[in-house]
Amino acid sequence: MAESYDRESEPTTRTLLRRVLDTADTRTPRRRRSARVSAQKALLETPSSRRLSSPTKMNVRQRSHRARSISRLAHVHTSGNLEEQTPRTLLKNILLTAPESSIMMPESVVKPVPTPQVVQSSRRESSRGSLELQLPELEPPTTLALGLLAPGRRKQRLRLSVFQQGMDQGLPLSQEPRGNASASSLTSSLNLTFATPLQPQSVQRPGLARRPPTRRAVDVGAFLQDLRDTSLALASPGNTVLEDTQPFSQPLVGRSPSVYHSLPCTEAEDAERAVSHRTQSSGPRLQNHNPRKPAQLLAAKAKKVDALAVSFPNNSSAISGEDGVEPLQDGVGEEAEERMEEGLSVSKVMDTTGTQGSVRTEKSKGYREMTEAVEAKEPEGSSGDEDISGRTASPELASSTTEFLQARRPQFLEPAPPPSTAVLSSEPLEPLSTRLPPRARTPGPRPRQDPHKTGLSHYVKLFSFYSKMPMEKAALEMVEKCLDKYFQHLCDDLEVFAAHAGRKTVRPEDLELLMRRQGLVNDQVSLHVLVERHLPLEYRQLLIPCAFSGNSVFPAQ
Amino acid sequence: MEEEEEGSGEEQQRFSYRQRLKAAVHYTVGCLCEEVASDRGMPFSKQTIAAISELTFRQCETFAKDLEMFARHAKRSTINTEDVKLLARRSNSLLKYITEKTEELAQFNTEQKAKKKKKLEDDNTKSVVPAEAAAAEKDGS
């Protein structure tokens, strides 16, 4: 008895915790009320009750009766050995015994903090007198409890959503007690310290707080510049080779200038325009790092070019490619010492041209980089495993389309000779710049508007997805162009086949003929086999006649 | 056993036939290359000629298959000039050449037909006249 009184007069951590435990309802969270009651009784009858002073005992009983309807507590297993326990174990007990009731909801389900439940349960009573039953100076343990809550029970966390729902609903009656709680001193009750964290503005439970989404301030300058770039790109429709890379570089605008493959590419393309316009941090540095960046870019590009070259075996008009490469290599020796680049032979080639380009205007350099990408593709043409490339390869090879290759070769021959001559010349700036404007006109107007090409961009994205290496924007542009030509070619063929059979509509027979010419369908592999192999069931049903019930065959033969 | 032998014999025969065809193609290609070489003043190496002839041979195979497919696609059993034109549609110059040739051929055919018709009529009349003349002479003598 005296002991207990002493305890109350000198509230140490241990005594406080003990008090909390004593006053707490000893109920498991999931037990029914009957169980709760029995648990209560069991607690009261535990041998530890010998330590309880009569007033506390009465308090327990009173509060338990009051709190019965709302609180649920875990069973205290260790209530018997309070004497031997450390503050840590006491806190653990608190955690276990804390009732899961929300201060907000009258029928409480849960709330994240177990310890204060002891107090919160009492809050059910609108009377503030119940608060006084709680321990006075309980801040340290509460903070401790807070720390322990993190490793605390999972099930409490799981119910958080419910709690938050409750918070959202914002029950009006909770306002008053909450307001009261905040009004009263923090140390007046356990409740208070834990009530406030439940509110979103709380600082004590930052994990629960609903923070407003952090938004970066929009860099207006960069945004405007990107707009300008986009409009530039759209305005110069014919110059797809030179400048039309903006649609792909937009996502990279916000990236920090790290040593990232696609970023150097973006920078190079931006470098095509006036250098000063880049408001990113890389912008001001671009001037200084001009010689270095294109080299970096090209070093990175070299690897991409390999990937790209793999996918373009058709463009291996090796003759033109070799012509382009040889004069480039002449410049390698001069510039190689200035550069400390990786030892890729292709990258060296690219680097030298890149360094030479850095001397010139950005535009011309960018132009050459594009054409170099084109040229490097050609000598490195090898059989690719890419789906699309395979498709483009097989129709070229299987069908008699050498003429087609010849038709495409002049396209690549055009860019090839000018840069090679430009590289050789000592004053590359002038000839290239003079040649540049006419070259801008020669590709001709863009054959289709953008909305028509949206379908192709989808394929291009697939292409970049399946490629094993990151792709440059210029490469993707090339891919798009080639896909465009390929599909045009395909549809022309289909049209001609249909006309050949005296029809005006294209039918599956025309497609089968086309696939035969491509070599995909032959005597060993029929069209149906391919359909079965590659198409999902829905399409297969449409294509392969199948018998259904009632002697009906779909599709009808 | 016999079938195998026959099969192998047939295969051998086919193979030799193929070789002969290839040789013929090679010879023709060689002649053409010599002609071009003399025109341009640049000789052709043997490997080049061999490569071209091999290429030509394979392309001929492809062409044949394609032509057959085209004819079947048009539900015909004979290969037509239409099929050939379809085959050659890739290269514009070749297509133009072929169409011109077909037109010429068509013209020629029509001319031939006209001539034949005319000839037939003449023959008829001529045959009638000599018959009459013969009859007349007979009568006369």
CATH 1.10.20.10 describes domain B9-79:
yes
Per-residue confidence (pLDDT) for residue B17, from 0 to 100: 92
**What is the Cα–Cα distance from A342 to A296, expressed in whole angstroms?**
9
For chains A and B, count residue pairs whose Cβ atoms are closer than 8 Å.
39
Burial class (CB in 10 A: 0-12, 13-18, 19+), A63: buried
Q: State which residues form the domain around A535.
A: 507-546
Residues with Cβ within 8 Å of A548's Cβ and at least 6 positions away in sequence, in order, are: A554
User: Could you tell me if B69 lies within 8 Å of chain A, comparing CB atoms?
Assistant: yes
Is residue A177 scored above 60 in pLDDT? no
Q: Name residue A397's amino acid.
A: L
Q: pLDDT confidence of B51, banded at 50, 70, 90?
A: very high
By Cβ distance, the residue of A400, A496, A516 closest to B59 is: A400
User: Could you tell me if B73 lies within 8 Å of chain A, comparing CB atoms?
Assistant: yes
Are A516 and B70 within 8 A, CB to CB? no
Q: Is residue A532 in a domain?
A: yes
What would the two tokens of residue A503 be? 């029809």
Residues of A in contact with B90 (CB under 8 A): 400-404
Helices assigned H by DSSP within A106-210: 115-123, 129-132, 139-149, 154-158, 160-169, 172-183, 190-198
Is residue A333 scored above 50 in pLDDT? no
When the pLDDT of each residue in chain B is averaged and rounded to a whole number, the result is 85
Per-residue confidence (pLDDT) for residue B119, from 0 to 100: 86
By Cβ distance, the residue of A403, A407, A501 closest to B73 is: A501
Are B91 and A403 within 8 A, CB to CB? yes
Task: Tell me which DSSP letter residue A369 carries.
Answer: H
The mean per-residue pLDDT over the stretch A499-503 comes to: 88
User: Could you tell me if B74 lies within 8 Å of chain A, comparing CB atoms?
Assistant: yes
**What is the Cα–Cα distance from A378 to A416, expressed in whole angstroms?**
10
Residue A355 near residue A295, CB atoms below 8 Å: yes
The secondary structure element, H or E, covering residue A546 is strand A546-548
Q: Which residues pair with A552 in a beta bridge?
A: A548
Q: Is residue A542 in a domain?
A: yes
Task: Tell me which DSSP letter residue A216 carries.
Answer: P
User: Could you tell me if B27 lies within 8 Å of chain A, comparing CB atoms?
Assistant: no
The mean per-residue pLDDT over the stretch B20-47 comes to: 92
Query: First-to-last CA distance in chain A?
Result: 99
Q: What CATH number is given to the structural domain containing A530?
A: 1.10.20.10
When the pLDDT of each residue in chain A is averaged and rounded to a whole number, the result is 57
The alpha-carbon gap from A401 to the nearest alpha carbon of chain B, in Å, equals: 7
Are B74 and A496 within 8 A, CB to CB? no
The mean per-residue pLDDT over the stretch A537-541 comes to: 87
Per-residue confidence (pLDDT) for residue A400, from 0 to 100: 41
Q: Is residue A473 in a domain?
A: yes
The mean per-residue pLDDT over the stretch A50-76 comes to: 49
Q: pLDDT confidence of A432, banded at 50, 70, 90?
A: very low
Q: Is residue A467 in a domain?
A: yes
Q: Is residue A476 in a domain?
A: yes
Chain A residues with CB under 8 Å of a chain B CB are 398-404, 406-407, 496-497, 500-502, 509-510, 513, 516-517
Q: Which residue of A has its CA nearest to B94?
A: A403
Return the minimum-mean-pLDDT range out of A162-166, A438-442, A518-522, B17-21: A438-442
Residues of A in contact with B83 (CB under 8 A): 500
**What is the Cα–Cα distance from A285 to A325, expressed in whole angstroms?**
31
Domain boundaries, chain B: 9-79, 80-119
Per-residue confidence (pLDDT) for residue A104, from 0 to 100: 56
Q: Is residue A162 in a domain?
A: no
Residue A555 near residue A542, CB atoms below 8 Å: yes
**Domains: count for chain A:** 2
The mean per-residue pLDDT over the stretch A166-178 comes to: 54
